[in-house]
Each structure stands twice: as structure tokens, then as C-alpha cells.
Amino acid sequence: MNTISVQEADFDVGAEIEALSAGRCDVGAVASFVGLVRADTLAGGGDEVSAMTLEHYPGMTEKSLEAIVAEADGRWRLLGTRVIHRFGRLVPGERIVFVGVASSHRGDAFAACEFIMDYLKTRAPFWKKEDTPAGGRWVDAREADDSAAARWAK
């Protein structure tokens, strides 16, 4: 089963991981990823991020996450996928994103989990704005994220 949630509320990592194999005996591997808000400092220092606000495009966000999960389903033998992405104001240490993948074997679970995160980073319409002592600052897209996603090109 694949489930996608875009929500303001936090999530329970343990419960989400357990749910991926609950009541079934064919799952041999569950791989998961949790993304957190970092208290980054700029080069030069002193400009610490005190909070972050995540904006998204309601409707397209869900649609793009569903497409990414469907793509992963086509590439690996998966038994279940769970994606949760938060929006709104988050402070350092808070969870932003969860990806959990269940499969018979670890290879497919690890690969699909990483693939979903790499595609999410470059295709799902979320934008981060950081609060710093100097004011709000939109996070720039990173080329490293584009190259990470490009690795999976067929």
C-alpha cells in the first residue's frame, strides 16, 4: 500500500515504520529516511537559522509525490511506501520529511528510499524560507540535488 501525506502536524517515526510491515509476513526489509531542520550557519558565522517556513503548492504536491512513488514502484519490487512531508513553520531539530519503503529484500528498499528522496528534492513543489537574525531568506536550489536526481536517469 502506498500512502502520501502533506501535513502541518509532526509524525511518529516508529509507528510509521511498524505500519509498513504490520500484519504481514512477506516484508523482509523496511528502509526509512527522516529529514530534519538544521540550525545552519552561513559562511562567516553568526547568522544562525532560528526557524524555517515551508510553502507548497496544494494539489500539485500530492500529485507529484504520487508520481514519484509510482515511478519507484515501477523500478523496484516494493510491498509498501509511506511518504510524509510537513509544511508551515518548523524549528531546528523538527522533522520535515519521512520516507519509508517495505520490500522483500534490503536492496530494493534501500534503493527505492533514496530514489524517492532524490526525486522529491527536485520535483515536489516545496520551498523553504529560513528565518535568520538578518531576516527571511529563501533557500536556493542546490546543484548537488539535481545531480543526485540525475543519477537515476534511465
Partner 1 sequence: MSIKVLYFASLRETLGYSHETLTLPANIATLGDLRDHLARRGGVWEALEEGRNVRAAINQNMAGPEVAVADRDEVAFFPPVTGG
Give contact residues for partner 1 (rule: CB under 8 A).
Answer: 35, 54-57, 59-60, 63-64, 85, 96-97, 117, 120-129, 138-142, 145
Q: How far is the CB of 147 from partner 1 (least distance, A)?
A: 14
What is d(CA 68, CA 61) in angstroms, rounded to the nearest whole number? 11
Q: Name which of 64 and 81 has its Cβ closer to partner 1.
A: 64
Question: What residues pair up with 130 in beta bridges, in sequence order?
Answer: 52, 137
Instruction: Identify which of residues 27 and 129 has a Cβ nearer to partner 1 in the complex.
Output: 129
CB of 76 to partner 1, least distance (A): 20
Q: Helix (H, G, I), strand (E, B), or coil: what is residue 131?
A: strand
Residue 22 or 138: the one with the smaller Cβ distance to partner 1 is: 138
User: Residues near 91 by Cβ (< 8 Å), separated by ≥ 6?
Assistant: 37, 50, 51, 52
Cβ 116 to partner 1 shortest distance, Å: 10
Write the secondary structure of 48-95 as one string of H (helix), E (strand) and C (coil): CCCEEEEEECCCHHHHHHHHHHHHHHHHCCEEEEEEEEECEEECCCCE
| Pick 11 or 57: Cβ nearer partner 1 | 57
Residue 72 CB, nearest distance to partner 1 (Å)?
A: 15
